[in-house]
Amino acid sequence: MLIVMKQDATQADIDRVNEVIAELGFQSHPMPGAARVAIGITGNKGAVDRAHFENLSGVADAIRVTKPYKLISRTLSPDKSIIKVGDATIGGDELTMIAGPCAVETPEQVFEVAEVVSKSGARFFRGGAYKPRTSPYAFQGRGEDGLKLLAEVRDQFGLNIVTEAMDERGVDLVEKYGDCIQIGARNMQNFSLLKYVGKTRKPVLLKRGMSATLDEFLLAAEYIMAEGNHDVILCERGIRTFGNHARNTLDLSVIPAVQKMTHLPIIVDPSHATGKNYLVNPMAKASVAAGADGLMIEVHPCPEDALCDGAQALLPEQYIELTAQLRLMRELTIPVRETASI
């Protein structure tokens, strides 16, 4: 159920609705919008009787939500969410660029890339300290030492840090050193981890699982939000298909589909989606044309020596050139800002 408050509802009216929700044994999720507050209700097993709310002061409407997702829905929050991450935002008019190496390797490598990313005007730096690798013998990441290097990047360059956590301990550490907790494709349906990050107050970048449908992707976001953390940024990173010319198949149609159904921002990672350097530039541009809120791009000063994902890394000069092209495109592109609700 969704309680829509009147425009002139007072804080006392909102508090009373929250109290009634608590008395019923459910959880309330107030979502302030530009014009009015909406309050989502979760925790109910069946339909909630509208009569509990209809006559309360300040209540405009009590709407039954029949879709499996509630908090991500545009019904609850018709305005697009702009998520604060560190000292910057994601989801506004500016195209978000999150760039950096696949993995934190050495201080020299990290600082060299950070300088390039900072010069390009990006506000976000990526780099994995915990790497989900297919082989247990492959480089697994520098762990907490890597996170410390990322924190130094923030101090030195003012870049906000987006980095992956693979388990609860990792979440605690990323909360301490980073600005945004990345949940990788392989953990998109790790429900206990989703609940755990839902209890933190750091924004979460949720990557689409490589075989996840749109519903599964959105319900994973719903898991995080249901725990109280509404600062979720979605990331399309390609899905598995029969195609074998690229590492994955970039599903660009998911961008307008997500924007139609949810108020959450969606960015695209063309690096993992393609796995190949020469495909990153055109797919990044296609993502902007399709209305993505931003991009996550892997950059390495010497891709042939990279400990992880060298084949898809852009060289610093390629990244700088791409950023300039994307900025021009962003100005020309009318972002897809569907206001349809479900």
Contact residues toward Mn ion (CB under 5 A) are 102, 309
Do the beta carbons of residue 225 and residue 29 sit within 8 Å? yes
Do the beta carbons of residue 96 and residue 267 sit within 8 Å? yes
**What is the nearest approach in angstroms of ligand PEP to the Cβ of residue 188?**
8
- Binding at 132: pick from Mn ion, ligand PEP, none (beta carbon under 5-8 Å per type): ligand PEP
**Helical axes 107-119 vs 316-332, angle rounded to 10°:** 30
Q: Which residues pair with 273 in a beta bridge?
A: none
- Binding at 263: pick from Mn ion, ligand PEP, none (beta carbon under 5-8 Å per type): none
**What is the nearest approach in angstroms of ligand PEP to the Cβ of residue 146?**
12
Question: What is the distance between the alpha carbons of residues 198 and 221, in angstroms, rounded to a whole number?
Answer: 9
Q: Is the dihedral of CA 321, 327, 331, 333 positive or negative?
A: positive
Q: What is the dihedral of CA 304, 275, 224, 146, to 10 degrees?
A: 0
Amino acid at 191: F
**What is the nearest approach in angstroms of Mn ion to the Cβ of residue 311?**
10
Q: Which residue is nearest to Mn ion (CB)?
A: 102
- Binding at 185: pick from Mn ion, ligand PEP, none (beta carbon under 5-8 Å per type): ligand PEP
- Binding at 142: pick from ligand PEP, Mn ion, none (beta carbon under 5-8 Å per type): none
- Binding at 29: pick from Mn ion, ligand PEP, none (beta carbon under 5-8 Å per type): none
Question: What is the distance between the alpha carbons of residues 11 and 14, in angstroms, rounded to a whole number?
Answer: 5
Question: What is the distance between the alpha carbons of residues 8 and 59, in angstroms, rounded to a whole number?
Answer: 10
Do the beta carbons of residue 109 and residue 301 sit within 8 Å? yes
- Binding at 222: pick from ligand PEP, Mn ion, none (beta carbon under 5-8 Å per type): none
Q: Which residue is nearest to ligand PEP (CB)?
A: 184
- Binding at 6: pick from ligand PEP, Mn ion, none (beta carbon under 5-8 Å per type): none
**What is the nearest approach in angstroms of Mn ion to the Cβ of residue 102?**
3
Cβ-Cβ contacts under 8 Å for 221 (sequence gap 6 or more): 69, 72, 206, 232, 234, 262, 264
- Binding at 43: pick from ligand PEP, Mn ion, none (beta carbon under 5-8 Å per type): none
Residue 197: half-sphere exposure toward Cβ, Cα within 13 Å = 37
Nearer to Mn ion, 63 or 246 (CB): 246
Question: What is the distance between the alpha carbons of residues 290 and 80, in angstroms, rounded to a whole number?
Answer: 16
Interface residues with ligand PEP (CB under 6 A)? 102, 128, 132, 164, 184-186, 207, 237, 269, 272
> Between the CA of residue 69 and those of 21, 44, 163, 209, 246, what are the distances in Å?
18, 13, 27, 18, 32
Q: What is the dihedral of CA 80, 84, 85, 87, to 10 degrees?
A: 140
Question: What is the distance between the alpha carbons of residues 273 and 22, in angstroms, rounded to a whole number?
Answer: 43
Nearer to ligand PEP, 73 or 187 (CB): 187
Nearer to ligand PEP, 57 or 241 (CB): 241
Nearer to ligand PEP, 185 or 267 (CB): 185
**What is the nearest approach in angstroms of ligand PEP to the Cβ of residue 236?**
9
DSSP secondary structure code for residue 312 in this structure: G
Nearer to ligand PEP, 268 or 288 (CB): 268
**What is the nearest approach in angstroms of Mn ion to the Cβ of residue 272?**
6
Nearer to ligand PEP, 154 or 272 (CB): 272
**What is the nearest approach in angstroms of ligand PEP to the Cβ of residue 154?**
18
Nearer to ligand PEP, 73 or 163 (CB): 163
**What is the nearest approach in angstroms of ligand PEP to the Cβ of residue 164?**
6
